Amino acid sequence: MEQQLTLVLLATPKGANFDEQTLDYASSSSSSSAPSSTSSFTRTFLKFSVYFSLVALAYYFIISSFTVPPPIFIALDSPPVSPSGNVSSPKCDLFSGDWIPDPAGPLYTNHSCPHIQDFQNCMLNGRPDVNYLFWRWKPRDCDLPRFSSSQFLDRVRNKWWAFIGDSIARNHVQSLICILSQVEEVVEIYHDKEFRSKIWRFPSHNFTLSVIWSPFLVKSETLGTSSDIHLYLDQLDHKWTHQYSNFDYVVISGGKWFLKATIFHESNTVTGSHYCHGRYNLTELGYDYSYRKTLKLVRNFVRDSTHKPLVLFRTTTPDHFETAEWNAGGYCNRTMPFKEAEAKLKTVDAVMRDVELDVFQNFGEGSTNFRLLDTTGMSFLRPDGHPGPYRHPHPFAGGKVKSSVQNDCLHWCLPGPIDSWNDVMVETILNR
Tell me which residues are annotated as active site: 167, 408, 411
Q: Give dist(CA 82, CA 170) in Å, integer.
A: 26
Residue 43 and residue 35 in contact, taking contact as beta carbons nearer than 8 Å: yes
Cβ within 8 Å of residue 324, ≥6 positions away: 330
Give me the DSSP letters along 396-411.
TTTS--GGGS--B-SS
Q: Say which amino acid occupies 160.
A: W
Packing angle between helix 347-360 and helix 287-304, nearest 10 degrees? 30
Question: Pseudo-torsion of CA 256, 262, 263, 266, nearest 10°?
Answer: -10
Radius of gyration (C-alpha) of the chain in whole angstroms: 33
d(CA 265, CA 272): 8
Calculate the alpha carbon distances from 112 to 109, 178, 183, 232, 338 in Å: 5, 8, 11, 43, 29
- Say which residues have a Cβ less than 8 Å from residue 394's Cβ, sequence separation at least 6: 125, 126
**Amino acid in position 2:** E
DSSP 8-state assignment for residue 216 = S
- The H or E element that residue 285 is part of is none
119 phi/psi in degrees, rounded to 5: -65, -25
